Structure 1
Amino acid sequence: MAHKTVIIGGSAAGAAAAARLRRLSEQEEIVILEKGKDISYASCGLAYYLGGEVPLRQNLVIIPPRVFSERYRAQVKTECEAISVSPDKKVVAVLNHQTGETQEEKYDSLIIASGAAAVRPEQISGISLPHIYNLRTLPDVDSIHEEIPSITSDDHFYDVLIVGGGFIGIEAAENLSHKGFRVTLVELRGQLLQNLDGEFSGLLERNLRRHAINVRVGVGVRSFTLTPDDFIETEFTDDSRKQKFRFVVLALGVKPATRFLEGSGIEKAPNGAVITNCRMETNIPGVYAAGDNAVILKNYSDELTWSPLAGPAARGGRRAADSIARSLGILPRNSAEFTGTSGSAIIRVFDETYAFSGASENELRQKGLVAGKDYFTSFVIQSSHVNWYPGSRLIFIRGIFDKKRGTLIGAEACGRAGVSDAINTLATVIALRGTFSDLANIDLAYSPQYGSAKSNINMLGFTAENQVLGLGEYISLTAYLTLDKKDYFVLDVRNREELFKYRIPEAVNIPLAQLRDRMNEIPKDKPVIVICGMGVRAWNAAGILRCNGYHSIVLEGGATLHALLKGK
């Protein structure tokens, strides 16, 4: 009798597992149980279909169930929901939503790829009213689409509300704005995109406001009410006036869809995600898990993490299939394992791109780690390619390094060009547990259309290297803004004409070319924070001061970042 694998869930992890398993074995019996009507669809494209950038719904369906079944000779059972698992009997209880009947599906191996479900807090009064939608599945986006055609040029009311400032909320805000709606985006926590640090999140918020998105951070929703004229009236947590909206999109994050595993004995993390090892094995022999419902390893540390992203899901599904093949003797015992994730992610917002990989400084601080003691940062602003070749744009990059080992453990980047190249390079170094020295020495392809002889990646490494060698000290803009400036001498070494464009009030201006002749104007009894346009001249000035007995500190991002985040 053929070995039988049952896969719960037909999205990224489940579909990848089934396809890989079939390619490894023609004898394997494969059954996919999918709660919805579709499998293998691009949930990351829902907002772009909503905004019309992806023109057709079928563009999001990577492969229809019937085609998948024929291609991979798998039984694809849609509208069949796993409601419980009994590992001792090797049985999954399945509710068929078409017939209403409950049946049992036996298995030899089981892959749990049930994904995640949208968070919908029931404590918010009125959250189940009409015109309030999630944006997680194809049926969700279908429901929102039904609202949009009713909006005509004669309508006086175009306001929509997005609740939640993560990826989905930001993408929905952008795309509904493209559709002509006036968009309000609220986020209960103090910033958008929690994986970004304050400066990068601040740049993102500025970008959204620049495109007429009404962004309100530190604000949540208290209640929803349906008005007589069929709008949603919203009460906010900051006690501001109530506001009416045509409809509401909830983008409050996701949670592992694993409630059906209660009583199964399958070990879960506190958030409900299934705990796995590097072979995607659970604590129950023959049971594997992958995707948004699973906890996996970080590839830059020995910690477990929950990373509900498409890339780790697809790779995890493949590795789960490999583990089954390994147990059957189809693959050798030393075949590849899942090496973990750094949670790399990227988002385009209007004309700018934001990306991150690995740990953020926010995350490290929450763990009690201290900047300068446990980790340090490196920050550069540089053109996406050489300035003299047309079309270059500024790119902002931060690296976070382990203080003891010098390894790169986190990175962020934003800008209008070159961001994906930068973050993918940095994500590779993070995964390989590379150091600041690796960044400084990495040999990247150079042509004036694509970069610089000293690339922004090299410059990030050089800046970190200088700190390790004791040649430089840096302070982030966030930290700078909290300082009592009377304890410091703030020095701006830009040329005088640059100050007409933007001036930092507390800074004393001594242009770099005059610094050596005017050092007597700078006190030695307090640290000197040095500012220039983006950092290069400030670094040169800080070196001059250091060599003359001053304690000098460079402001990361200089006046450029200060103007973007704090300028009028």
Structure 2
Amino acid sequence: MRILVIGGVAAGTKAAAKLKREDRSAQVKVLNKGEDISYAGCGLPYYVGGAIGTREELIVNTPQKYAGLTGAEVVTGCEVTHVDPAAKTVSGLLHGESFTESYDELIIATGAAPFVPDMPGKALPGVFPMRAPDDAVGLRDYVSANGCRRAVVAGAGFIGLEISENLLSQGLDVTVVDFADQIMPNAFDPEMADFARRKLKEAGVRVLTGQRIQSVTGTDKATGIVTDGGPIAADVVVLAIGVRPATDFLADTGIELFKGTVVVDELMRTNLPHIYAAGDCAMVRSAITGKGQWSAMGSTANLTARALANTLTGSPTPYGGCLGTGVAKLLPMLNVGRTGLTEAQARAEGFDPITVVCVSDDKAHYYPGASVFLTKLVADRNSRKLLGLQVIGAGAVDKMVDVAAVGLYAGLTIDAYDTMDLAYAPPFSTAIHPFVQACHVLENKLSGKLETFTPAQYAAGEAKDYQVIDAQPAPAIPGAKWVNLAQVNGPLEGIDKDAKLLLVCARGKRGYFLQNRLKFYGYTNTRVLEGGVTFNQVKVPLPAGATLPPEEVKRLKGLGCLWDKRTPDRFNVRVITRNGKLTSAEHAAVAEAAQKFGSGEVTMTTRLTMEIQGVPYQNVDALIEFLAEAGLEVGGTGSKVRPVVSCKGTTCQYGLIDTFALSEKLHELFYKGYHDVSLPHKFKLAVGGCPNNCVKPDLNDLGIIGQRVPEPDLNKCKGCKVCQIEKACPIHAVSLKDGKAVIDPTLCNHCGRCLEKCPFGAFTESTYGYKVYIGGRWGKKVASGKPLSKIFTSEQEVLDLVEKAILFFRDEGQTGERFSDTIQRLGFDYVEDKLLHGTVDKQAVMNKTVIGGASC
């Protein structure tokens, strides 16, 4: 039997290997277009992020190794362009030469190709699809070689979000754009996707939905993209919009296709005899609905290929259908998983879906590293059969997905899990498995014991007429009435039994306990908010004259929202401007935000942030969301590195260094890079382009000043009666001594204005550098910083010193003291020696617990 396999990677190589194991006499030949026949396509994002170190680690098998292991013949560089079912031949190009091969059985495993819209700029350097190892290698190399700091990823599916996480881990600013109105479209319901989106934004990823990419900008290389919403600047662009079946060469063969996929039956047979298909190019079926479903997953490719090989070698093996099962890592502590139907899909398929969103421990709560699962179950209301699951968590979401997938294949009801003996030990799970807990909650909801609003209903405003009851252990929802669950032994004082009450706690459990108790005491109209404040953004309008609790004021201050104490509930919100620099579009966004959400007024702070004035409490979240859509962030308070201040630098006539370039690096590395690092107090950085000190670097915790150190050649000095160098020096540090122009080093501030002024070339040579001051501050207790004795001659030296100073302050500073206090307590000489000559164990310092003492 002569079997041809068109395509390698997952399905092709799996089918060929299994065929040879089952029938050693079979002649199996793999025809592969590329040179890599078997690689880890799902591992590409992790190569970009550096978790996978080399290209070789992505290659599962080389053609030579694979042929030796399996006995299948492998031909690379072979593009099949035509299939003739009647003649049972395939033809195409082998390294540019025509060829024809005959077959007894044919397997089509050509997979899928990345979809790249036909748009201007798509071929520019710096634009990368993400499908093959060379794409990942090219992207990582390009980011490194070009010092990329901003990335745009088009596509918010699993691959796009995994690429985003790995670019973020490399220190890039990442913007994700998708035409759909949510991330992970068709995989997650909107409320689950919105929760994941909020977490991505909290981590610094800018997420824009409902925007189609129109073009890539740039001439010699990519400089950004243009979307329906306007331009977005970027140094590198990744196109992860999706894939399309690689089946164009089958158009005139008579093989049945549906939207480019090869239609197959449960034995992976096409409509033509002796022709089969598997992998991303094939249309399989849903295990739940029985309808055709495209499952472009490596797992589906391997499973269908193995089943196909069994069938061809005499053991017919039907493929049981797919569930759309998938998991992904979106952030270091944010994993997502799903299987089965979403609520929307279930309704579209004619089911009557009932759902629940619940929050449960992912392992014993007392075990180190314990976190939570946020789980959405979808079931059919009438049959109680499980239809789908979506889960988000910091830990092993795959275990939740796999438990659900087994139930879906078996057609189990949610009740079938009630007493199922699943694994338990504190490091791994809870005594009642978290999936079973979710089933129990949904059973209570089906029975009417638990009456709820889902997160989707709450977001849609269905609870707007309900009074919010805070059921948490301590009051935590501003404007809500707090009820101490432990003391509810009768009707609630001042609340009618027919009042509409929304019971809100951290997760939903205490809300259920309170509802159960209130029902006993005659309350008839209570609802529990599923997922509580862990999942939902709960806002309660403040009653007239009410003030916010101190805890909420403190929380908002940490976000850069400072309470205007003349009012009960208005805030001035600080917008970070990257050293005072904004684009015109960003300026327009700030102005629009001030008009829409605040008083219409914008002020500047001494840290060159813009402060939107008079924002009512209920508008704060909407304002922050609006600014994030424009690529802007709020912040700049707390015991941490503060926004960086910079002068104009080389755009000023006296500028000696590019202060914008340096301060932007400081912004990325330390304001953003150390954003979650607590320090003993605030730590302010400033960069001045010359000794004029316009932004007062020496009054900051660490100040950097551009220098141009003269290196005179006094052999060329003629001792002129009117010395042009003496005349040019603005601080009179130059004088004639013994017929030579001499610089007093105690007076010279290295401004460089003397250079090029001598007609005989005595003052032409110099060294550009940086003077660094430490321990300055202004405010209640002004202190001038003192310069380190070294003039730094490279930008990298300065960046390294800044990081060492921050780590030193975190390690040896005391809560509540500024860096100047630390220096005074330890002695300048000690600190200077540590910064210039000492070493810092960064990991040890970062592992310390530090309590900040900043009050603003």
Tell me, yes or no, whether TM beats 0.5. yes
Map of 1:552 onto structure 2: 526
Map of 1:170 onto structure 2: 161
Map of 1:364 onto structure 2: 346
TM-aligned CA deviation for residue 225 of structure 1: 2.6
Deviates more, 1:59-68 or 1:450-459: 450-459
318, 332, 335: which one aligns with 1:337: 318
Map of 1:210 onto structure 2: 202
**Count of residues in Structure 1 that have an aligned counterpart in Structure 2:** 539
Report the residue type matching 1:492 in the other structure: D
Deviates more, 1:21-30 or 1:181-190: 181-190
TM-score (norm 1): 0.90
242, 257, 263: which one aligns with 1:268: 257
Contact 1:439–1:460, Cα closer than 8 Å, also in 2: no
Map of 2:223 onto structure 1: 232
Cα 1:522–1:14 shift into 2, 3 Å: farther
Larger radius of gyration: 2
| SS in structure 2 of the partner of residue 67 of structure 1 | helix
Give a deviation string over 1:270-299, Cα, whole Å, max 9, x none: x21111121111111211111111111222
Report the residue type matching 1:395 in the other structure: F
393, 406, 417: which one aligns with 1:428: 406
TM-aligned CA deviation for residue 477 of structure 1: 1.2
| SS in structure 1 of the partner of residue 502 of structure 2 | strand
* 1:469 aligned onto 2:457: no
Alpha-carbon separation, structure 2, partners of 1:355 and 1:139: 28
Map of 1:418 onto structure 2: 396
Map of 2:287 onto structure 1: 299
Deviates more, 1:40-49 or 1:551-560: 551-560
519, 523, 529: which one aligns with 2:502: 529
TM-aligned CA deviation for residue 418 of structure 1: 3.1
Alpha-carbon separation, structure 1, partners of 2:51 and 2:538: 29
Map of 2:191 onto structure 1: 199
Cα 1:214–1:519 shift into 2, 3 Å: same
Contact 1:266–1:284, Cα closer than 8 Å, also in 2: yes
TM-aligned CA deviation for residue 484 of structure 1: 4.7
Cα 1:74–1:389 shift into 2, 3 Å: closer
| SS in structure 1 of the partner of residue 536 of structure 2 | helix
Alpha-carbon separation, structure 2, partners of 1:187 and 1:522: 47
Map of 2:144 onto structure 1: 149
* 1:104 aligned onto 2:92: no
* 1:379 aligned onto 2:365: no
Give a deviation string over 1:324-350, Cα, whole Å, max 9, x none: 112xxxx3xxx5321111121111122
Contact 2:222–2:237, Cα closer than 8 Å, also in 1: no
Alpha-carbon separation, structure 2, partners of 1:550 and 1:41: 60
| SS in structure 1 of the partner of residue 412 of structure 2 | coil
| SS in structure 2 of the partner of residue 110 of structure 1 | strand
Contact 1:6–1:109, Cα closer than 8 Å, also in 2: yes
Report the residue type matching 2:381 in the other structure: K
TM-aligned CA deviation for residue 238 of structure 1: 1.1
Give a deviation string over 1:514-538, Cα, whole Å, max 9, x none: 4453346444556543222111111
Give a deviation string over 1:71-110, Cα, whole Å, max 9, x none: 22212111111212121211112222x2x12221111111
Report the residue type matching 1:178 in the other structure: S
Give a deviation string over 1:306-340, Cα, whole Å, max 9, x none: 110010110000111111112xxxx3xxx532111
* 1:62 aligned onto 2:35: no
TM-aligned CA deviation for residue 368 of structure 1: 7.1
Give a deviation string over 1:473-494, Cα, whole Å, max 9, x none: 3322122121254543433322
Contact 2:224–2:236, Cα closer than 8 Å, also in 1: no
Contact 2:491–2:518, Cα closer than 8 Å, also in 1: no
Cα 1:381–1:439 shift into 2, 3 Å: same
Deviates more, 1:378-387 or 1:482-491: 482-491
Contact 2:333–2:395, Cα closer than 8 Å, also in 1: no
Map of 1:322 onto structure 2: 310
Alpha-carbon separation, structure 2, partners of 1:33 and 1:431: 35
Report which structure shows greater RCO (CA 8 Å, sep ≥6): 1
TM-score (norm 2): 0.60
TM-aligned CA deviation for residue 177 of structure 1: 2.0
Cα 1:256–1:285 shift into 2, 3 Å: same
* 1:116 aligned onto 2:105: no
TM-aligned CA deviation for residue 563 of structure 1: 4.3
Contact 1:341–1:431, Cα closer than 8 Å, also in 2: no
Cα 1:368–1:182 shift into 2, 3 Å: same
Which runs of 5 or more residues in structure 2 are unaligned? Answer: 540-620, 625-856
7, 17, 25: which one aligns with 2:15: 17
TM-aligned CA deviation for residue 425 of structure 1: 1.2
Cα 1:80–1:564 shift into 2, 3 Å: farther
Alpha-carbon separation, structure 1, partners of 2:416 and 2:266: 26
Alpha-carbon separation, structure 1, partners of 2:49 and 2:462: 46
TM-aligned CA deviation for residue 236 of structure 1: 2.0
131, 138, 153: which one aligns with 1:136: 131
* 1:43 aligned onto 2:41: yes
TM-aligned CA deviation for residue 223 of structure 1: 1.9
| SS in structure 2 of the partner of residue 353 of structure 1 | strand
Instruction: Please report the RMSD computed on the Cα atoms of aligned residues, expressed in angstroms.
Output: 2.2
Alpha-carbon separation, structure 1, partners of 2:373 and 2:531: 11
Map of 1:188 onto structure 2: 179
Alpha-carbon separation, structure 1, partners of 2:238 and 2:357: 35
State the percentage of identical aligned residues.
30
Report the residue type matching 1:29 in the other structure: Q
Alpha-carbon separation, structure 2, partners of 1:215 and 1:201: 12
Cα 1:485–1:319 shift into 2, 3 Å: closer
Report the residue type matching 2:196 in the other structure: L
Cα 1:540–1:290 shift into 2, 3 Å: same
TM-aligned CA deviation for residue 237 of structure 1: 0.8
TM-aligned CA deviation for residue 498 of structure 1: 3.5
* 1:76 aligned onto 2:78: no
* 1:8 aligned onto 2:3: no
Map of 1:351 onto structure 2: 333
Cα 1:174–1:518 shift into 2, 3 Å: same
Cα 1:546–1:304 shift into 2, 3 Å: farther
Contact 1:487–1:526, Cα closer than 8 Å, also in 2: no
Cα 1:320–1:524 shift into 2, 3 Å: same
Map of 1:284 onto structure 2: 272
TM-aligned CA deviation for residue 218 of structure 1: 2.2
| SS in structure 2 of the partner of residue 441 of structure 1 | coil
| SS in structure 1 of the partner of residue 198 of structure 2 | helix
Alpha-carbon separation, structure 2, partners of 1:167 and 1:563: 25
Report the residue type matching 2:207 in the other structure: V
Report the residue type matching 1:529 in the other structure: L
Cα 1:422–1:211 shift into 2, 3 Å: same
Alpha-carbon separation, structure 2, partners of 1:201 and 1:362: 13
Contact 1:221–1:236, Cα closer than 8 Å, also in 2: yes
Which runs of 5 or more residues in structure 1 are unaligned? Answer: none
